Amino acid sequence: MLPQLMKVRTLTPLMTAAVMMAVSVPARSEETPGVKAPAVAAPAAAKPENKMPETPADVAAAPADAVKTQTGLASKVLKPGTGDKKPTAADTVTVHYSGWTTDGKMFDSSVKRGEPTSFPLGQVIAGWTEGLQLMVVGEKRRFWIPEGLAYGPVVEGSGRPGGMLCFDVELIAIKEISKPPADTKKTAGGVAYKISKEGAGEKPAAKQVITFQFVAKTMDGEIVQDSHGEPAPPSVPLDKLPKELAELFMDMKAGEQRQCWLPESRAPGGFIAADLELISFKDALPAPEVPKDVAAAPADAAKTASGIAHKVLTAGNGKTHPKATDTVKVHYSGWTTDGNMFDSSVTRGEPAQFMLNGVIKGWTEGVQLMVVGEKRRFWIPAELAYGPAVPGSDRPGGMLVFDIELLDIGK
């Protein structure tokens, strides 16, 4: 029942900018920011339910003989394990578990599903990350996790359990973090790499736009993302990439290919393995001017029922509007309301092409108002974009402003 924190095929911090540029448009965001779930691997198919775990008699509060950590996490050993090896936050663990709210309602159970779950320990709620590091294989322990180490207070309609939670957890196995090969070189930023094909010529400068291909994989070889499946190789200004990736590309020549291991706290095994190829690079085009009305929609802007404000900047031709299922080609630039431009196909010198129903809701709705050749400005509220601003996140938040020019409509 608990939503997965991260499937391998979701974006990772180091690869986020590259993947966003691979599709070259605002990607749809369906995640709940800042919420972590204990289980990251739900069963692939429904299984016959096992016997329902009994509700603990002490579910409402930790008993007097429970031990408590400095963070407020209470626990009690129900069954001792074997050995003395305990997992670290970087390890992947396999567990069986059941979880209850303090009124005795069970909200999730791998035991009931009849299938244990595995996940990187540093990737789940803080109470699990801390608590499982107290355990050894074979041990079963009951935890009383305060809301500050779980999902926070109860929020009606959120779909997630709130307040203090009670979990019974059995540690089945520990898989230690995989390491990059011993014969790799390392960048100053800590990215391990091997050169698999030499390039030629100069290296890109910090302000230039690079075009590249990548295949990102887990340490077990499962493909996370492959840019070769996109309509065109991704292009991105180097200064828009995370510094670890920018540093890596700035050390490459056109045509060069590298195998890389990117340190990644959210990735299974602690690393994302990536095959990178630098295709070309060029100077970035001048950035479009910041709209004078970037802070708020002007009085003469039209507004849709959903709250999108918009204004035609250049009239188009024809009467055909794209449908949500169409593929469109556009040039665009996007700003936060303080005038910070966070993305622009104009500076890259390459239009973006995408399925209209594969982007943020504000784009899906707004671009359907346009005809080919038209340029329109949109003020898109947070709930139709990426949600509220979240400090330290990889995406812009709050209301966003986009200038979009519709170049073509495909099927």
Single out the catalytic residue among 275, 293, 342, 394. Answer: 342
- Catalytic option among 125, 360, 380, 404: 360
Q: Catalytic one among 212, 386, 403, 404?
A: 386
* Helices (H) then strands (E): counts for the chain: 6, 21
Q: What angle do CA 103, 56, 89 make, to 5 degrees?
A: 95
Residue 127 · residue 37 · CB < 8 Å: no
91 is catalytic: no
Annotation marks residue 360 as catalytic: yes
| CA gap 35, 125 in Å, rounded | 8
Residue of 91, 168, 251, 343 marked catalytic: 343
User: Which residue in 210, 380, 402, 404 is the catalytic one?
Assistant: 402
Please answer whether residues 350 and 329 qualify as being in contact, where contact means their C-beta atoms are separated by less than 8 angstroms. Answer: no
Kindly state the tokens that stand for 213. 């291909």
Query: Is 343 a residue of the active site?
Result: yes
Task: Verify whether residue 332 is a known catalytic residue.
Answer: yes
Catalytic hit among 97, 167, 332, 378: 332
Contact 193, 259 (CB under 8 A): yes
* Token pair in block for residue 30: 């369906």
CA 232 to chain centre: 22
Element (H, E) at 210: strand 208-217
Cβ proximity of 276 and 212 under 8 Å: yes
Residue 402 annotated to the active site: yes
In DSSP notation, 78-147 reads EE--SSS----TTSEEEEEEEEEETTS-EEEEHHHHT--EEEEGGGS-HHHHHHHTT--TT-EEEEEE-G
Place of tokens 């309609």: 157
Q: Within 13 A of 69's CA, how many CA atoms are on the CB side?
A: 19
**Known catalytic residue: 342?**
yes
Q: Which residues are catalytic?
A: 332, 342-343, 360, 386, 402
